[in-house]
Amino acid sequence: MYKIGTRQSQLAVAYTEKAKNHLSIDLETVFIHSQADLNPDLTIEEMGNKGVFCKEIETALINRDIDLACHAFKDLTRDNDDLLEVTCVLPRSDFRDCLVGNNINPRTIGTSSPRRSYQLTELYPGATIVPIRGNIDSRIAKQENGEYDAIVVAKAGLDTLGLTHKASRIFGTADMLPAPGQGVIALQTRKPETPIDETITAWCWARNDIDTWHMVMAEKYMLKEIDGTCQTPIGCVSICEEETIKIIAKNFETNKIAVQSAHYKEYKELGQMLGSQLI
The catalytically annotated residue of 37, 54, 55, 75 is: 75
* Residue 46: its H or E element: none
Query: In this structure, what DSSP letter does residue 148 have?
Result: -
What single string gives the DSSP state of each residue in 158-180? HHHTT-GGGEEEEPPTTT-PPPT
Question: Strands 167-170 and 234-241: what pairing?
Answer: unpaired
The catalytically annotated residue of 139, 166, 169, 250 is: 139
The catalytically annotated residue of 54, 204, 230, 236 is: 230
- Beta bridge pairs of residue 119: none
Rounded distance between C-alpha atoms, residue 276 and residue 224, angstroms: 10
The catalytically annotated residue of 18, 133, 142, 268 is: 133
Longest dimension (CA), the chain: 59
What single string gives the DSSP state of each residue in 227-256? T--TTS-EEEEEEEETTEEEEEEEETTTTE
The catalytically annotated residue of 115, 155, 169, 250 is: 115
Rounded distance between C-alpha atoms, residue 111 and residue 95, angstroms: 17
The catalytically annotated residue of 7, 20, 55, 74 is: 74
Specify whether the CB–CB gap between 152 and 111 falls below 8 A. Answer: yes
Question: Does residue 116 have an active-site annotation?
Answer: yes
Question: Does residue 107 have an active-site annotation?
Answer: no
The catalytically annotated residue of 7, 55, 116, 220 is: 116
Question: Does residue 115 have an active-site annotation?
Answer: yes
Rounded distance between C-alpha atoms, residue 146 and residue 132, angstroms: 13
Question: Does residue 236 have an active-site annotation?
Answer: no
Phi, psi of 52 (to 5 degrees): -70, -20
Question: Does residue 94 have an active-site annotation?
Answer: no
- Positions annotated as catalytic residues are 74-75, 115-116, 133, 139, 230
